[in-house]
Each structure stands twice: as structure tokens, then as C-alpha cells.
């Protein structure tokens, strides 16, 4: 398994899609916060999902999720998937991307790289442990992020 990238710009500048669920019932959303690293001697991907996201339900219901990265030309599609909720649109049909099975989860044909992840751990980011300015600027509405750590079980390259 190998994936070489400039990890800071990979999430922050290029963005990614976080997808969870099965062929019949999945959801996806754009993310720009995340990390790749190691814990408990396993290669892992870490993502942060606000409780209000429809994708949050799918992260809780499913053992696997994927993090997928796209060529620059799909930025517009990623913008839409990061602005509209799966509660208001059919993300499978309306996203402009082609959903495909990826290991035990789902991704999209247009992805350059898909990390298939098995959920290992999740925890709420509680405000008591955050810097005050972060609480003020990002959590005035109490819609906190949950952190999900997944073991990267496969790296699929299209």
C-alpha cells in the first residue's frame, strides 16, 4: 500500500469526499479537514464530521468509509457536494460523479485515489478541550465535530 502526497495541501486545498454506506444506501460529502498517519501500529485516516451532516448518520451505521481524492477539474462537483445535503438532493444521481463500489464501501469512478477505511474509533471534540477562539469562531451553534479514525485497509488508484 502506497500513497505519496503533500498531505497539508491534499486536504486543505484539494479537498476530498468522505463516503459511507452501501450501493443501495450511501451518502457522500466534501471534507477539507483530515489527516493520515499511524495509531495502534495501523495506518489510519482521521476525519471530522459535524453531527448535523447527513453523512454523520452513515458514518455511525457503517463499519467502513472511504476518503477519495480528485483531479482539480472536479472542484465544481466537490463544491456542490459540500454545499448541498443528501437530505435535499440525490447525491448518487445529482452529483455529476459516477458512484462505484470500493472495497466494503463506496467511492466514485472519477477519483484519483480512494482510501478504504475500517472504522476504529470515534469521539466527540468537546469544547472544554478547545482553544477559546475556536469555540467562538466555529462552534457558536454547538454543532460539534465528531472525530472518526479508520484503519486504511486498501488504497485504490484509478
Ligand X SMILES: Cc1cc2nc3c(=O)[nH]c(=O)nc-3n(C[C@H](O)[C@H](O)[C@H](O)COP(=O)(O)O)c2cc1C
- Which spans of this chain sit near ligand X (rule: CB under 6 A)? 15, 27, 29-33, 48-50, 53-55, 79, 82-87, 145
Closer of 30 and 68 to ligand X (Cβ):
30
Closest-by-Cβ residue to ligand X is: 82
CB neighbourhood size of 81 (10 A): 28
As measured in angstroms, the least distance from the Cβ of 41 to ligand X is 26
Closest CB 23 distance from ligand X, rounded Å:
17
- Label residue 122 exposed, middle or buried (CB < 10 Å: 0-12, 13-18, 19+): middle
- Measured distance CA(68)–CA(96) in Å, rounded: 15
Which cell numbers in the block locate residue 121?
A: 474509533
Q: Which is nearer to ligand X, 9 or 41 (CB)?
A: 9
Shortest reach from residue 59's CB to ligand X, in Å: 9
Name all contacts of 131-135 with Cβ < 8 Å and 24+ positions apart: none
Q: Which is nearer to ligand X, 80 or 100 (CB)?
A: 80
Q: Give the burial class of 70: count Cβ atoms within 10 A of its Cβ; 0-12 exposed, 13-18 middle, 19 or more buried.
A: buried
Q: For ligand X, give the closer residue by CB, 39 or 83.
A: 83
CB of residue 26 to ligand X, shortest distance in Å = 10
Amino acid at each position: 500500500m502506497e500513497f505519496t502526497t503533500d498531505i497539508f495541501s491534499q486536504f486543505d486545498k484539494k479537498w476530498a469526499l468522505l463516503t459511507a454506506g452501501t450501493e443501495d444506501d450511501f451518502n457522500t460529502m466534501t471534507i477539507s479537514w483530515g489527516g493520515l498517519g499511524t495509531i495502534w501500529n495501523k495506518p489510519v485516516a482521521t476525519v471530522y464530521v459535524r453531527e448535523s451532516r447527513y453523512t454523520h448518520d452513515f458514518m455511525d451505521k457503517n463499519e467502513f468509509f472511504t476518503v477519495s481524492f480528485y483531479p482539480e477539474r472536479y472542484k465544481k462537483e466537490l463544491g456542490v457536494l459540500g454545499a448541498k445535503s443528501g437530505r435535499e438532493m440525490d447525491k448518487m444521481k445529482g452529483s455529476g460523479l459516477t458512484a462505484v463500489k470500493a472495497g466494503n464501501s463506496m467511492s466514485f469512478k472519477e477519483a484519483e485515489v480512494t482510501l478504504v477505511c475500517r472504522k476504529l474509533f470515534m469521539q466527540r471534540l468537546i469544547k472544554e478541550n478547545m482553544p477559546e477562539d475556536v469555540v467562538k469562531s466555529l462552534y457558536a451553534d454547538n454543532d460539534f465535530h465528531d472525530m472518526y479514525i479508520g484503519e486504511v485497509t486498501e488504497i485504490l488508484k484509478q
